[in-house]
Amino acid sequence: MSKNITDPAQFGRVAVAMGGSSAEREVSLDSGRNVLAALQARGVDAQAIDGIPALLDALRAGHFARVFNILHGQHGGGEDGVLQGALESLKVPYTGSGVLGSALSMDKTRSKQVWQSLGLPTPKFVALPHGADAAAVHAAARTIGFPLIVKPASEGSSVGVTRVFAEADLDAAVQLAARYPGDLLMETLIEGDELTVAILGRQVLPSIRIVPKGEFYDYNAKYIAEDTQYICPGLQGEAEETLRTLALAAFDALGCAGWGRVDVMRDRSGRNWLLEVNTAPGMTSHSLVPKAAAAAGIDYQELCWRVLETSFREDR
């Protein structure tokens, strides 16, 4: 459980880790600037640090007491368990999930394997190694069936994602996903409503139904477009409660903690399908966790404060 903090001095000096070297660098910088301003407005002694090498140098020099991790993505993004392991070794407290939850959540294939083993619903999928030949790719597509999704197994923010409706478009989708490191994931395209559920401590916030103007919620719809609709709560009554219960079960199954966001598709028959967990979600002006928090009566500054409180977790 997180500790309830009333005095900003109890946090000590806080490093807000942002930027980094992942494909999500620009989103992380945007998130980080917002978080930094919010914490400072609440009296927290917080300072921005760009990337993992600079952060670790500052921590070894004793400059900070704890870390608010708002780095996104893998390979220098701070969301894949690597940073968490380094912070554990330095005995520096930090926000969000630990090594296991971060690593499992970043790898969408392993996430789905865990959920599948527990009987939690996730779209049918095939994992493809990076550089898989065309025969393997097309065989996987026949197993999944069209329409399907092709994406990197370990990227976020819809980076490298393609919806594929016909075999003629498959090779281009694989080439796009293969620009990013790691394995590829091919899964059934669930047609229906896209929903997301934020978790703060053990509180499950109201769901959000995302209605992009375009065909799906891509990078542009997430971070640039001003015409995406966000309906919160996304569902009503028993359907909303069922979705929130599923989201928390998915979060717990991957060993996640502190805070995060669970992305779900709801098909035309009303069945929910788990897509992924984000362990350091975006905190930009377009981001979903702040929207869900606001619907629950938690303003942006209070949200950042409560996320920072997760660095006091006693169960690490």
Superfamily of domain 125-188: ATP-grasp fold, A domain (3.30.1490.20)
Residue 215 has pLDDT above 70, yes or no: no
Q: Among this protein's residues, is 263 annotated catalytic?
A: yes
* Numbered ranges of CATH 3.30.1490.20 in the chain: 125-188
Which member of 19, 22, 24, 105 is catalytic?
24
May I ask the CATH architecture of the domain 105-121+191-301? Answer: 2-Layer Sandwich (3.30)
Locate 163 and state its tokens.
């919806």
- Each residue of 91-146: pLDDT tens digit? 999 999 999 999 999 989 999 999 999 999 999 999 988 888 888 889 999 999 99
Q: Among this protein's residues, is 306 annotated catalytic?
A: no
* pLDDT (0 to 100) of residue 64: 98
Q: To the nearest whole number, what is the mean pLDDT of the chain?
A: 91
The Cα 305–Cα 89 span in angstroms is 25
* Numbered ranges of CATH 3.30.470.20 in the chain: 105-121+191-301
Q: Among this protein's residues, is 271 annotated catalytic?
A: no
Is this model's pTM higher than 0.85 or not?
yes
Q: Among this protein's residues, is 223 annotated catalytic?
A: yes
Q: Among this protein's residues, is 220 annotated catalytic?
A: no
Phi then psi dihedrals of residue 22, to 5 deg: -85, 175
* Numbered ranges of CATH 3.40.50.20 in the chain: 8-96
Which member of 2, 263, 272, 309 is catalytic?
263
User: Do 195 and 209 meet the contact criterion of CB atoms below 8 Å apart?
Assistant: yes
Q: Among this protein's residues, is 157 annotated catalytic?
A: yes
Q: Among this protein's residues, is 105 annotated catalytic?
A: no
Return all residues near 175 (Cβ < 8 A) that are at least 6 apart.
none
Number of residues in the chain: 316
Residue 253 has pLDDT above 90, yes or no: yes
> CA nearest 96: which of 284, 306, 299?
306
Give the burial class of 13: count Cβ atoms within 10 A of its Cβ; 0-12 exposed, 13-18 middle, 19 or more buried.
middle
Which member of 69, 111, 154, 278 is catalytic?
278
CATH class of the domain comprising 8-96: alpha beta
Which member of 244, 261, 266, 306 is catalytic?
261
Q: Quote the distance between the C-alpha of residue 184 and its chain's center.
A: 18
In our burial notation (b when 16+ CB lie closer than 10 A, e otherwise), range 217-232 reads bbeebbbeeeebebeb
User: Do 304 and 39 meet the contact criterion of CB atoms below 8 Å apart?
Assistant: yes
Give the burial class of 248: count Cβ atoms within 10 A of its Cβ; 0-12 exposed, 13-18 middle, 19 or more buried.
middle
Residue 225 has pLDDT above 70, yes or no: no
Q: Which of 89-93, 151-155, 173-177, 261-265 has the lowest mean pLDDT?
A: 151-155
Residue 315 has pLDDT above 80, yes or no: no
Locate 189 and state its tokens.
């395209």
